[in-house]
Chain A
Amino acid sequence: MASHGIRDRVAIVGMGCTKFGERWDKSTDDLLVDSTQEALQSANLDVKEIDAFWLGTMGSGLSGLTLSRPLKLDYRPVSRNENFCATGSDAFRNACYAVASGAYDVAMAVGVEKLKDTPYSGLAVAGAANDGTQPALSAPAMFSLLVPAYQKKYGVTEEQMREVLTRIAWKNHANGARNPRAQFRAAVPKETIDCSPPIAGPLGVFDCSGVSDGSAAAIIVRAEDAHRYTDNPLYVKALAFVAGPGGGTLGQDYDFTTFHEVVRSAEDAYQQAGVTDPRGQIAMAEVHDCFTPTELVLMEDLGFAERGTAWKEVLAGTYDLEGDLPVNPDGGLKSFGHPIGASGLRMLFECWLQLRGQAEDRQIKTSKTLGMTHNLGGLPGECVSFVSLVGTEPSA
C-alpha cells in the first residue's frame, strides 16, 4: 500500500469555532455563518477569496447548498462529506488534498451539526428499519464491552478500572471548565463521577460524551503562501484515514481491547510525518473520547503507552494538562458534546490555539511543535479512524 502523504505542502492560516452546547438560539445556518466568519477574520480574508469548500455534516443538511445558501457563495464548488464521527476531519482532509493538488489556491473546510431542535435529538440515526432480529446494543453498551475485556486481559480489578475511567472523565471536565467554548464548563468531583446514574454496563452518565450543537472551520493554503495570511501558520504533516473491513466478532482475533482501524491509521500518519516516537515527539493530542474506556484504549492504539500500561499512565497523570503528553486539553467530547460533523475541526481548533500559544489559562507548556487530532466513527470491531498531525515548523 502506498500512502505518500502531503507533508508540509499545505498550511492552515485561519480557524473559527463556535461555542458548543444546546444552541436553541442558533440555527444550522447561524452556526455556519459564525464559524466561517471567525475563520475568515483570523486569516484577514473575505469569503469571495475562498476558491472551494468542503462541508462535513452527518445529518444537518444534504448537498453543498447547505453551505452555499447561508454564505451566499458566488457559484463556488462545495462538496458535502459524511464519514460517521470523522465527518469533519474528512472534510478537512479533502480540502487539504485539493490545495496540494494545485486545483485551488485557498480552500475552506467546515463542519457543522445541529442535534438539538430536531425531531431526533441525539447521536443515533434512524437507519434501515430494525425488524427486531438484532438486540438493542446502543453505542454506550457497545463501548462498555471494552471495560471487562481490558480488565481481564491485563489483570485490572473493577475498583482500579473505576478509578481509571473516573480519572479520564475528571481530567476532561477539568480542562473543559477552562474553555469558554465548551458545552459543560464545570469541574466535576471524582465522587460524583464514581456514582453517576448507570447507562450501560459499568458506564455511568459521566463516562459518556454529551449531545450538542456546534460548528468549526479551517482555511487551507499552499505552505509557501501561508505567510501572506498569518505570521504563525500550522503546517499539515499527516492525514491518515482508514475504514475497516468490519470483521467485528466474525473472527477469533478481535478481543475488544483495541481498535485495529486506529492502529493502522496512526501507523500511516506517523510514517507520513516521519514520527518515530509519538509519546516523546507529540506536544498534545485531541482524541475521540466518546466514552471513557475509548480514551483509555486509544492511548495504547496511538502509541502513547505500551500495551496493558495505559491505565497506569492515566492514574499517574501522564495525559493531564500538566502531564508529559496532554490529551484533550480543550475538554474533549466529554466537555464539548459531539456534534458529529463539527467535532474533528473543533479538535483541530485546539491544536491551532495550543501550538500557537493562544490557549490562555489552559495553555500547555512545551517545546514540542506537533499536535494530533483523532476521530473514531462506528463501533468496536467495525469503524473508521482518522489521524492528523499538524505542526508549527516546516520540515528542514
Chain B
Amino acid sequence: MTSAPVEDGLFTWPSESPQLIGSKCGDCGVTTFPRQAGCPRCTSEAMSEILLPRRGTLWTFTTQEFLPKNPPYAGTETAEQFQPFALGYVELPGEVKVETRLTESDPAKLSIGMEMELVIVPFRRTPDGDDVLTFAFEPAS
C-alpha cells in the first residue's frame, strides 16, 4: 500500500514541511494556484514557479452538505458514506486566495480571518488500496 499526490506539481512531496506550488507573473505580478504556464490576468507568458507560504488566513468558507455529482466530483464514497465537509478560500499573505478543502467540517469552529495551515490528507483510495493525497488547510495551532 502506497500513497501519492493526486497530481504532480501541486505540492512539494514527500516533505516534512510541504508547500503548495504556485506561479507568479513577471509582468503583472499576479500569483496563481495551481501553477499556470500563461497568466490568467494579463495573458503574459512570463510565469515562474514559486513555493507558497504554508500559513494564511481563512478568507471565507462554506459547507458541502450533499455528495456532489461524479463526475465532476472525483471522490469515490457513496451517498451513505458521505460526510459533509467545509471548504473555502485561504488567503496566503501577499500572494493568492487558494480554493481548498478544510479539515474542520463544523462551521461553528471556523471563523473568517482565523489562521490556517497547510496539511496533506488522503482524498480517496484506489481499487488497489493506495491512498491518493491532496491538500487541505486546518486551523493553525
Contact = CB atoms under 8 A, between A and B. Distances in A.
Chains A and B come from one and the same complex: yes
Interface of A: 120, 122, 124, 126-127, 129-138, 141, 144-145, 148-149, 152, 197-201, 246-247, 249-251, 256
Contact of A249 (B69, B97, B107): B97
Contacts of A250: 30, 32, 40-41, 96
A127 B72 contact: yes
Contact of B101 (A127, A135, A152, A201): A135
Interface string B15-42: 0000000000000001010100000110
Contacts of A138: 64, 66, 68
Contacts of B123: 132
Given A124-B72, A130-B72, A131-B7, A137 B87 contact: yes
B10 A134 contact: no
B107 A201 contact: yes
Q: Count chain B CB atoms within 10 A of each CB in A133, A145, A200 and give the residue with the most.
A: A133
Size range of the chain B interface in the assembly: 35 or more
Given A199-B66, A200-B63, A132 B74 contact: yes
B12 interface: no
Contact of B74 (A131, A152, A200, A246): A131
B87 A132 contact: no
Contacts of A133: 6-7, 10, 34, 134
Contact of B62 (A127, A141, A249): A141
Given A122-B69, A251-B41, A200 B62 contact: yes
Contacts of B72: 124, 126-127, 130, 136
A197 B66 CA distance: 10
5 contacts: A124-B69, A127-B71, A132-B75, A200-B64, A249-B97
A201 B105 CA distance: 11
A92 to B, nearest CB: 30
Interface string B50-71: 0000000000111111101101
Among B61, B64, B124, which residue has the most Cβ atoms of chain A within 10 A?
B64
A135 B64 CA distance: 10
Nearest to B124: A132
Contacts of B10: 133
A249 B10 CA distance: 19
Contacts of B60: 145, 148-149, 256
Contacts of A247: 41
For the complex of A and B, the 5 pairs showing the least CB-CB separation, nearest first, are A201-B62, A132-B6, A132-B74, A136-B68, A130-B72
B115 interface: no
A120 B34 contact: no
Contact of A141 (B63, B74, B132, B134): B63
B41 A130 contact: no
Contacts of B40: 246, 250
A84 to B, nearest CB: 15
Contact of A136 (B7, B30, B32, B87): B87
Nearest to A143: B62
B76 to A, nearest CB: 10
B104 interface: no
Contact of B71 (A126, A145, A198, A249): A126
Interface string B122-141: 01100000001010000000
B99 interface: yes
A130 B71 CA distance: 7
B109 to A, nearest CB: 14
B93 to A, nearest CB: 12
Contacts of A251: 30, 41
